């Protein structure tokens, strides 16, 4: 029995490590292009970009660890089943649950690690990355802005910049809403340049060769065009560049504190309860995927990797779509957070147990 358990565990660990490495690498590559753009095109210090890169790791691991568990179990047990090794083991009178116990234990250990990941590391790194991005934006505003989109990062100003090259801007439009029912003031310039004052939470924008709408003092609803060679505009960063913690940035202890605080003010706290249960429930996806993947692999009885990868994809999509759906219902108070955030685990874990016990009957 011990030899068989060790054999199954050994055969599962290699696919797990390969799957984890490949999945993590792919997800990192998706963000690497954006981070490389900060270095090459925006001129951001490489050490700051490496920090952002490191902050991504815990968040990525929270997804790749469970998927690697599912992939390794499904690929390994599919091979066992197609090679008739499962039949040989069961013919020897050995219960499948006994031989799977090391994998179930591995799933529980990884789930406990994911609780630490979700409760400690991810909130810290997520909040730290937001602060770092804010700091980059205040010291080098152009690096935090994207050309060809409306930018709402500044109070009372909406910017649209057609081209950003380092700290140099081209074809700039600035819209300043004057209130409901009043015309919007518009400033247009061919070129521009940011001058940053990070300690004051302000940025000065130097505009070159353009026009601005100046209000008519006799009739404030009317504007007249003013041509300028150089025009300096002071932009205030939203909320004075301070960063408040979102529920994702909080630990369970901090979420509990926020719940108690808002309860005393008779304010709805469903979003905090949802995030609290989400941190724990999603951590157990490693255990759930192993519990569900093992009987599924034996039933499908396929050695073809293309079919197995298709099954992995469908299971992962189903799990996370269900989780997102229940999370939305929880936030809207349609379902209690405790029930909503654990529903996906209960459904898939229950299905895995039923399939396992049915296999043990034959």
Across the range 319-339, mean pLDDT stands at 91
Residue 9 burial (CB count, 10 A) = 17
For residue 24, tell me if it sits in a domain. Answer: yes
Q: Within this chain, do residues 65 and 44 fall inside the same structural domain, yes or no?
A: yes
Q: What is the model's pLDDT at position 253? A: 92
Q: Within this chain, do residues 222 and 329 fall inside the same structural domain, yes or no?
A: no
For residue 17, tell me if it sits in a domain. Answer: yes
* Contact predicate 100/287, CB 8 Å: no
Domain ranges, residue 349: 2-138+245-361
For residue 329, tell me if it sits in a domain. Answer: yes
Q: Within this chain, do residues 251 and 231 fall inside the same structural domain, yes or no?
A: no
The burial class, CB within 10 Å (0-12 / 13-18 / 19+), for 11 is middle
The last residue of a domain, from among 203, 236, 269: 236
For residue 147, tell me if it sits in a domain. Answer: no
pLDDT of 252-295, one tens digit each?
999 999 899 888 877 788 889 999 999 999 999 999 999 998 88
The last residue of a domain, from among 236, 261, 291: 236
Per the document, the length of the chain is 362
Q: Within this chain, do residues 268 and 228 fall inside the same structural domain, yes or no?
A: no
pLDDT of 178-194, one tens digit each?
776 677 778 899 998 87
Contacts of 91 (CB under 8 A, 6+ apart): none
For residue 131, tell me if it sits in a domain. Answer: yes
**Confidence category of residue 240, pLDDT binned at 50, 70, 90:** very low
Q: Within this chain, do residues 8 and 128 fall inside the same structural domain, yes or no?
A: yes
Q: Which of 66-70, 205-209, 218-222, 299-303 has the highest mean pLDDT?
A: 66-70
Q: Within this chain, do residues 230 and 286 fall inside the same structural domain, yes or no?
A: no
Give the chain's domain count.
Answer: 2
Q: Average model confidence (pLDDT) for the chain? A: 82
Give the separation between CA 17 and CA 106, rounded to whole angstroms. Answer: 13
Q: Which of 108, 121, 111, 120 is nearest to 57 (CA)?
A: 121
């Amino acid at each position: 029995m011990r030899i068989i358990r060790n054999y199954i565990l050994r055969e599962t660990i290699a696919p797990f490590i390969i799957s984890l490495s490949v999945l993590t690498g792919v997800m990192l590559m998706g963000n690497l292009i954006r981070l490389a753009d900060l270095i090459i095109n925006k001129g951001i210090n490489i050490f700051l970009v490496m920090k952002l890169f490191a902050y991504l790791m815990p968040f990525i691991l929270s997804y790749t660890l469970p998927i690697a568990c599912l992939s390794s179990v499904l690929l390994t047990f599919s091979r066992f089943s197609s090679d008739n090794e499962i039949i040989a083991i069961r013919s020897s009178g050995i219960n499948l649950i006994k031989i799977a116990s090391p994998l179930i234990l591995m799933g529980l250990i990884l789930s406990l690690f994911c609780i630490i990941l979700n409760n400690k590391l991810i909130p810290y790194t997520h909040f730290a990355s937001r602060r770092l991005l804010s700091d980059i934006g205040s010291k080098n505003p152009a690096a935090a802005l994207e050309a060809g989109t409306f930018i709402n990062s500044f109070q009372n100003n909406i910017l649209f910049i057609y081209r950003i090259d380092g700290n140099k801007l081209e074809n700039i439009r600035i819209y300043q809403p004057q209130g409901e029912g009043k015309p919007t003031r518009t400033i247009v310039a061919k070129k521009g340049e940011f001058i940053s004052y990070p300690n004051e939470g302000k940025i000065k924008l130097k505009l070159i060769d353009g026009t601005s709408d100046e209000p008519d003092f006799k009739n404030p609803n009317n504007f007249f065009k003013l041509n300028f060679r150089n025009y300096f505009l002071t932009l205030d960063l939203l909320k004075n560049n301070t960063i408040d913690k979102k529920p994702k940035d909080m630990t369970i202890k901090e979420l509990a504190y926020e719940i108690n605080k808002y309860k005393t003010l008779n304010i709805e706290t469903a979003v905090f309860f949802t995030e609290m249960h989400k941190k724990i429930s999603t951590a157990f996806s490693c255990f759930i995927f192993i519990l569900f993947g093992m009987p599924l692999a034996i039933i499908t009885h396929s050695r073809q990797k293309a079919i197995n990868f298709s099954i992995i994809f469908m299971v992962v999509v189903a799990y996370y779509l269900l989780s997102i759906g229940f999370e939305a219902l929880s936030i809207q108070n349609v379902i209690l957070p405790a029930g909503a955030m654990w529903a996906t685990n209960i459904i898939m874990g229950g299905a895995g147990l039923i399939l396992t016990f049915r296999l043990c009957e034959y």
